[in-house]
Amino acid sequence: METPGTPRQMPAVARPSIFRWLMLLPVLPFAVKIVREYERAVIFRLGRLAGAWGPGLFLLIPIVEQLQIVPLRIVTMDVPRQDVITKDNVTVKVDAVVYFKVTNPEDAVVKVTDYIRATSLVAQTTLRSVLGQSDLDDLLSKREQINERLQKIIDEETEPWGVKVTAVEVRDVGLPPEMIRAMAKQAEAERERRAKIIHAEGEFQAAQKLADAGKIMAATPTSLQLRYLQTLTEIAGEHQSTVVFPVPIDIIGMFMRQAGIGGDASGGGGRSQVPVEEERKEEG
């Protein structure tokens, strides 16, 4: 029996609070959210945009608040290979790479359904349009200018979505086989033209030098003889070959005059004539 005036103990008072906490445990994963440094959480409260939060820990009101996480890192997207007809009617296959990132998470969620797919489609359309207005030579030689033009156009299209295109690179240009052969022939002909021009310039310079040397030798005839003897000395250095060369009469005459040998050139080498009578006596 209870003593009158003694307060009644209620040990079950803490049970409702523990029960409430236990009821909240299944809801905690939906109420507690952690946003990383490179992410932003776009919050909707009863369907209305409440802003972009992050990074850090957030407590959401279940059912009342909804969250959508948007990454802020640069996205590298491959543009599928496109068949493009250039301005000079050459069919090429071109693929590119687009680098972009989200600068405004709210616009990226609210103003476009899927900003990655939308950026990809804009890049494909712009790639075909810009390359279709360019010649094949410009596509192969002015790649940097085309990349800058693509980046500018795609960035203007995606700016209302909160997407910033940082760079666009045309990665590969596939040419048809017949065009590759034609370009190879053109390059070969260009190389031959350069070789012929260089050879002709060499011949022209050599002719000028020979003309200058001839003028010097004409002024001093001795230099011609010295050059001739120097050439013979160079040839004589090769002992494994036999060289037959003509000796000009001028050189022999010069040496003969220096030695003091005179005489008629016509009679120096003929045989002596014997009188006819002496020949008959000898026969008798």
> Tens digit of pLDDT for each residue in 220-277?
777 777 777 777 777 776 666 676 666 666 666 766 776 666 554 444 444 444 444 4
Expressed as residue numbers, the domain containing 47 is 18-71
Tell me if residue 89 falls in helix, strand or coil: coil
pLDDT of residue 34: 86
Number of domains making up the chain:
3
In a domain, residue 101? The reply is yes
In a domain, residue 218? The reply is yes
Q: Tell me the CB-side half-sphere exposure of residue 170, using CA atoms within 13 A.
A: 25
The whole-angstrom distance between residue 165's C-alpha and the CA centroid of its chain comes to 22
Average pLDDT, integer, range 36-52: 90
**87 shares a domain with 160:** yes
**146 shares a domain with 90:** yes
In a domain, residue 269? The reply is no
Average pLDDT, integer, range 42-52: 90
pLDDT in tens, 67-91: 889 999 999 999 988 888 888 888 8
pLDDT of residue 96: 92
In a domain, residue 41? The reply is yes
**91 shares a domain with 54:** no
* Sign, Cα dihedral of 207, 212, 215, 220: negative
Cis amide prior to 80 (ω within 30 degrees) = no
**82 shares a domain with 131:** yes
**163 shares a domain with 96:** yes
Q: What is the DSSP letter of 13?
A: G
**185 shares a domain with 165:** no
The predicted model scores a pTM of: 0.60
In a domain, residue 82? The reply is yes
**111 shares a domain with 53:** no
What is d(CA 227, CA 68) in angstroms, rounded to the nearest whole number? 94
In a domain, residue 200? The reply is yes
CATH number at residue 79: 3.30.479.30
In a domain, residue 132? The reply is yes
In a domain, residue 160? The reply is yes
**217 shares a domain with 162:** no
pLDDT of residue 74: 94
**50 shares a domain with 115:** no
Q: H/E element holding 193? A: helix 177-219
